[in-house]
């Protein structure tokens, strides 16, 4: 039976069973694709054997990034706060860009939710539509249209929320706005 080692022996990058980035030799020495294809030149430094792609065990349907992202988008569109919160891992990290007091990294689900709540208090937002769901092996992105209001001023914005997903939960999010200056103005 194949011994699935959980990380790269060179850089310690996590390589879960579902990873398509794991490379192994005949003796199951394990490296990430970046180390194997780069500095190691496709050869195991332990036995000099060829490094090939390790078979990836498929994730259960409910843990696949596309399913997780669609579940999140559906909860957001339905306004189901409990279902939304259930999509976040305890160690969820939120990254806000810009030049405003919320810019930076909010580590942990509670800190991220607190930042999102404060932003929504200052400039209430309403999801108008989910315009796209993009999915990759380890995450994906939502393209959305939101309406933000502050002191009688309303703005409709296109936003991209890029997510890292693991173990069926949202682990990290980067928010990209089409008009960061407008966001900074509304969140001042």
* DSSP secondary structure of 9-28: TTT--B--TT-SSEEE-TT-
pLDDT in tens, 63-115: 788 889 999 999 999 999 999 999 999 999 999 999 999 999 999 999 999 99
| Contact yes or no for 130/140 (Cβ under 8 A) | no
Residue 163 CB coordination number (10 Å): 24
pLDDT value, residue 59: 57
pLDDT in tens, 114-148: 999 999 999 999 999 999 999 887 889 999 999 99
pLDDT in tens, 31-74: 999 999 999 999 999 999 999 988 776 656 677 888 899 999 99
pLDDT in tens, 146-167: 999 999 999 999 999 999 998 8
pTM: 0.69
Euclidean distance between CA atoms 146 and 187, whole angstroms: 14
Q: Domains of the chain by range and CATH?
A: 1-58 (3.30.40), 61-186 (3.10.450.50)
CA-wise closest residue to 143 among 69, 67, 64, 65:
69
pLDDT value, residue 167: 86
At residue 12, does pLDDT exceed 90?
yes
CA-wise closest residue to 28 among 7, 5, 8, 57:
5
């Amino acid at each position: 039976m194949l011994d699935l080692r959980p990380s790269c022996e060179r850089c310690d990058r996590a390589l879960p069973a579902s990873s398509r980035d794991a490379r192994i030799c005949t003796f199951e020495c394990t490296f990430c694709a970046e180390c194997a294809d780069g500095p190691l030149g496709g050869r195991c430094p332990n036995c000099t054997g060829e490094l090939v792609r390790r078979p990836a065990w498929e994730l259960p349907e409910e843990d696949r990034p596309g399913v997780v992202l669609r579940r999140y988008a559906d909860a957001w569109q339905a306004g189901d706060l409990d279902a939304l919160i259930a999509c976040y891992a305890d160690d969820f990290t939120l990254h806000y860009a810009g030049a405003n007091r919320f810019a930076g990294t909010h580590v942990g689900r509670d800190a991220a939710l607190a930042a999102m709540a404060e932003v929504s208090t200052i400039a209430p937002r309403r999801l108008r539509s989910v315009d796209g769901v993009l999915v990759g092996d380890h995450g994906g992105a939502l393209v959305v249209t939101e309406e933000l209001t502050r002191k009688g001023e309303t703005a409709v914005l296109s936003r991209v929320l890029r997510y890292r997903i693991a173990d069926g939960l949202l682990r990290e999010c980067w928010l990209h706005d089409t008009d960061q200056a407008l966001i900074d103005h509304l969140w001042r």
